Structure 1
């Protein structure tokens, strides 16, 4: 089964995402900040990384930049964020993000998105 890293600083959002992924049988690791996400990415070979953008310690843009320079090229990174800034989507794709999902998201949309990458 796929191994997924969830990087989310909002505990309620993290719990929801973790619940959805575990209910589908995925193995997951959790990080609440960018520094921890990078530590876990060095330790494990993730099939998918779900990354919030506005994080403590190190924001998601910096995490994405560092991840993309060190990750296996087969690892997809999906941004999940509540940001409504118009250029964020373009910046994320330019930084190497595979997909962008806005919060709040529909559960079916989230599950469908995950299934495309693992």
Structure 2
């Protein structure tokens, strides 16, 4: 079973720095990232226990230098239930419905813009002929 490492930062810049340093330091993979309210970002990395410990330590030091460190933790051999919790990415139906509505509105605007662009040259030609 792989180890799980978590690094929490304020903002995406720190999270990207943490992932970059962790992946360059040891043979680890990024499992996921979570955007939490208030600009907090948690990244999860997995790999062999030793690799994850080294990667999290290095990433933690790099993020502390940026001044955006919130916390970090390594779980050497988490139970399968921990991974089940982390890998569930359920999107609330309200979010899906809102996204669909936004797409529909955007399509309407694009179609209206296309119609306006086709009509304007014709109107301009008519205006010139009337004078």
TM-score range, shorter chain: under 0.3
State the TM-score, normalized to the length of structure 2: 0.25
Q: Which of the two has greater strand per residue?
A: 2
Point out which structure has higher relative CO (alpha carbons under 8 A, 6+ apart): 2
State the TM-score, normalized to the length of structure 1: 0.28
Q: Which of the two has greater helix per residue?
A: 2
